[in-house]
Amino acid sequence: MRLKISLLKEPKHILLICVGWTTAEELYSCSDDHQIVKWNLLTSETTQIVKLPDDIYPIDFHWFPKSLGVKKQTQAESFVLTSSDGKFHLISKLGRVEKSVEAHCGAVLAGRWNYEGTALVTVGEDGQIKIWSKTGMLRSTLAQQGTPVYSVAWGPDSEKVLYTAGKQLIIKPLQPNAKVLQWKAHDGIILKVDWNSVNDLILSAGEDCKYKVWDSYGRPLYNSQPHEHPITSVAWAPDGELFAIGSFHTLRLCDKTGWSYALEKPNTGSIFNIAWSIDGTQIAGACGNGHVVFAHVVEQHWEWKNFQVTLTKRRAMQVRNVLNDAVDLLEFRDRVIKASLNYAHLVVSTSLQCYVFSTKNWNTPIIFDLKEGTVSLILQAERHFLLVDGSSIYLYSYEGRFISSPKFPGMRTDILNAQTVSLSNDTIAIRDKADEKIIFLFEASTGKPLGDGKFLSHKNEILEIALDQKGLTNDRKIAFIDKNRDLCITSVKRFGKEEQIIKLGTMVHTLAWNDTCNILCGLQDTRFIVWYYPNTVYVDRDILPKTLYERDASEFSKNPHIVSFVGNQVTIRRADGSLVHISISPYPAILHEYVSSSKWEDAVRLCRFVKEQTMWACLAAMAVANRDMTTAEIAYAAIGEIDKVQYINSIKNLPSKESKMAHILLFSGNIQEAEIVLLQAGLVYQAIQININLYNWERALELAVKYKTHVDTVLAYRQKFLETFGKQETNKRYLHYAEGLQIDWEKIKAKIEMEITKEREQSSSRPCRVRASL
């Protein structure tokens, strides 16, 4: 990826101060020569909009944001302009000054609208930070300090303000008495800050010639090497994936983690202000010599298996097949905004249309018009793909057919990214921004909430989510990383009972599901871990460590990120931007394929061929999950779990199918489901007995009393248990039912024998009535 620079031969201003985009092809600039100039990039024309009064020297300006929701404007209609005389001015797009407000003593150094357009923050040389209404009425003086405030930015939720204080950065909430976060960020005066609403990361730059990336808690994520000159401007791209920094004769394009994609040295003087276009494809810089520098982001790369796609020009792509070196050129009518290559399809969104190419045929794409031009995110699954624009989420098939558009209350699509949205063949998952502990789940085919309509709720804030890609809808799992960096997994199926959220690992920084089978990989502290069969936690948690593959991850340096997990190859991007490819064993994927096709003999044969404990452990868990106890017995024997082999043998000898099913559920730790199966089959004694065996004395007595049977059996076993440990009965319920009752073990044994005989007779005379859902 690099920047393609363009400059006019002659500057349009004497000394340029600031720039701002209205649409993706239209820019406004203003300067100390009092002119506001409009630039049309389609026609390469410049027009003077207005000449400001001679006493107004502009310092900063910011376009009023487009309103969110259905009534979204196609372009900004007014802007705030701050000036050196202590005023800010609300100016229409046509250049009419609607209102001028006395704001600060000394120059107003910066002014920013919040994301909703309901409030304006200004900062000045007098060290004051003031909040204003949309119409320019003072709401509050948020803070006051003894040094000038050079830059300010709103937090993603518009509830906090970030501002500079010399070498310090300060985050101050709007609520009074809320905790203020302050830290030393640079060794010189901080000149510029920016806070991205999508990734929640902070960017700062100063006179120490460095730029730095921080999280919203003030923790450093990246610290650049010193440049030759102070960094005078910084700006996040709208989607939060890139940022640009400007200095003297310097324009640099960087990844959100800090490393540099491209460095350009235009002859511009210092770049005082940088603005990204609304679609995130180009940058405008306000230069000290009066020029406006334009830079287009080109040569982006997308890879999938043996295909490599490169954006060569704004409207052209090159596709290369590395197996035979075949090259295809793809040309588009409009400029390319976003693209994604996965599952044998290339999806490209331009400013007006969406193109869907198949890797088998690059000549005849499916083309359809977009409802709104600026697509901010494309996600792909095997059967369909997801487009996110400024107002909605759309799901399309690869044939270009519209499928659904999920919605939920308070949905803000402008802050969704690949970490907070996930797509599988049948499910869409979206993390809520208003409450980050909640994940909304939707049916892909209808866009309606999944199951009984309940959302998934976790005890901590969720940072990243990922749906598995294979298997049946009822078995769909979602993995997520929370604020404590715990990796959790749960089922997306929500019918009545609350699904259990199980922790898979701690200190996990990044994760990815495999595209062809349900294998999960992640970077856990200094280890790279692959969970070959994550569902093991639902079947037999004891053998989960035996189903993992681990290796040292220190070679990936600090803060690596998993880019993709395709086939048996994992691609990881290191903190310095380099890509590292890791190959894992292909055998677990083959095992998944055999099990999904119920080829148990082939699965056992594969494990005997590979001779790895990991494979046998995976097969054991898969066999129990699919109720194939013969294969489970072989697999458990191979990994030395003799106690479990004996238990499986005892299950085989049970008289009825219901009892076998119940004990298989017990084997997996599903006590409640096992009890339900037995009670539905009328096997009340067996339900009581499993509770006695598990020492669930309260539940055993409750069942006996409810069904008016085997109360004496429960009391006898309870008495025997207490005598073994030399204890006296203290439970009031047991004391109540034991009054005047004599324990006769001969009679109890006869009753038990009669129950077993009765169960055998029932199982031979009627079919199994086990619920399909279990």
pLDDT at 381 over 50: yes
Q: What is the predicted pLDDT for the residue at 21?
A: 87
Sequence-distant (≥ 6) Cβ neighbours of residue 690 within 8 angstroms: 662, 666, 671, 674, 675, 678
The model carries a pTM of: 0.85
Q: Is the pLDDT of residue 29 over 70?
A: yes
Cα(716)–Cα(729) distance, integer angstroms: 12
Q: Quick one: pLDDT band at residue 532, thresholds 50, 70, 90?
A: very high
| 298-405 classified as CATH 3.30.465.10 | no
Considering just the CA atoms, what is the radius of gyration of the chain in Å? 32
Q: Lowest-pLDDT range, 9-13, 285-289, 650-654, 664-668?
A: 9-13
List pLDDT tens digits, range 323-333: 999 999 999 99
pLDDT computed for residue 11 by the predictor: 67
Per-residue pLDDT band at 769 (split at 50, 70, 90): very low
- Provide the mean pLDDT of the chain: 88
The answer to whether 641 touches 620, Cβ cutoff 8 Å, is yes
- Residue 473 burial by CB count (10 A; 0-12/13-18/19+): exposed, middle or buried? middle
Domain borders along the chain are: 14-67+74-297, 298-405, 655-765
Task: Name the residue type at position 487.
Answer: L
Tokens of 367: 């083309």
Return the pLDDT at 498. Answer: 64
Rounded Cα distance, 288 and 215, in Å: 31
Mean pLDDT calculated for residue range 91-110: 91
Q: What is residue 772's predicted lDDT score, i.e. its pLDDT?
A: 36
Residues 636-644: contacts with CB under 8 Å, at least 24 apart: 638/607, 638/613, 639/543, 639/546, 639/613, 641/542, 641/543, 644/540
C-beta neighbour count of 166 within 10 angstroms: 18
CB 329 within 8 A of CB 320: no
- pLDDT higher at 358 or 493: 358
Q: At residue 681, does pLDDT exceed 90?
A: no
Side-chain half-sphere exposure of 210, counting CA atoms within 13 A: 15
Task: Label residue 764 by pLDDT band (50, 70, 90).
Answer: low
Q: Which strands form 292-298's sheet, in the order they lie side by side?
A: 2-6, 292-298, 282-287, 271-276
pLDDT at 244: 96
- Pick the range with the lowest mean pLDDT from 213-222, 272-281, 685-694, 747-756: 747-756
Share in percent of the chain as helix, strand, coil (round to 5): 20, 40, 40
pLDDT digits (tens, 9 = 90+) for 402-412: 999 999 888 88
Confidence label for 474 from pLDDT (cuts 50, 70 and 90): confident
Report pLDDT digits (tens) over 109-134.
999 999 888 999 999 999 999 999 98
Distance, in Å, from the CA atom of 541 to the CA atom of 551, rounded to the nearest integer, reads: 21
Q: What's residue 250's pLDDT?
A: 93
pLDDT of residue 694: 86
Read off the pLDDT band of 69 (50, 70, 90).
Answer: very low
Q: What's the pLDDT at 472?
A: 83
Picking from 7-11, 91-95, 549-553, which range would have the lowest pLDDT averaged per residue? 7-11
Q: How many Å apart are CA 547 and CA 514, to the nearest integer?
A: 16
The set of residues, in sequence order, having a beta carbon less than 8 Å from that of 405 and lying 6+ positions away, is 392, 393, 394, 395, 447
Question: Both tokens of residue 344?
Answer: 């044998």
Identify the residue with better confidence: 14 or 104: 104
Which residues, in sequence order, are bridge partners of residue 153? 162
Quick one: which of 50, 49, 39, 48 has its CA closest to 7?
A: 39
User: Residue range 164-174: average pLDDT?
Assistant: 94
Q: Distance between CA atoms of 530 and 350, rounded to whole angstroms?
A: 37
Which residues, including other chains, have CB under 8 Å from residue 183's CB and lie 6 or more apart? 168, 169, 218
**How does residue 71 score in pLDDT terms, banded at 50, 70 and 90?**
very low
Query: What pLDDT, on the 0 to 100 scale, is given for residue 74?
Result: 46
Q: Sheet with 301-304: list strands edge to edge.
A: 301-304, 307-313, 316-321, 326-331
Decide if 52 contacts 37 (C-beta within 8 A). Answer: no
- Dihedral of the CA atoms 131, 133, 138, 142 (nearest 10)? -20
pLDDT tens for 594-647 read 999 999 999 999 999 999 999 999 999 999 988 888 999 999 999 998 988 988
Mapping DSSP to helix (H, G, I), strand (E, B) and coil, where does residue 641 land?
coil
For 259, the token pair is 């490393």
CB 515 within 8 A of CB 343: yes
Q: What angle do CA 181, 183, 184 make, to 5 degrees?
A: 160
Query: Using the 8-state DSSP alphabet, how is residue 449 labeled?
Result: B
**Confidence check: pLDDT of 773 > 60:** no
Of 420, 424, 523, nearest to 462 by C-alpha is 420
**Same CATH fold assignment for domains 14-67+74-297 and 298-405:** no
CA atoms within 13 A on the CB side of 589: 16
Q: Please state, for a pLDDT cut of 90, what percent of the chain lies above it.
A: 54
Report how far residue 344's alpha carbon sits from residue 220's, in angstroms, rounded to the nearest whole number.
39
User: 2.130.10.10, 3.30.465.10, 3.90.78.10, 2.30.30.110: which CATH number matches 14-67+74-297?
Assistant: 2.130.10.10
Q: Which residue has the higher pLDDT, 451 or 198?
A: 198
Residue 763: per-residue pLDDT: 64
What is the distance between the alpha carbons of residues 631 and 95, in angstroms, rounded to a whole number? 78
- Per-residue model confidence as pLDDT tens digits over 475-506: 899 999 999 999 999 998 865 566 788 999 99
Other Cβ atoms closer than 10 A to 201: 21
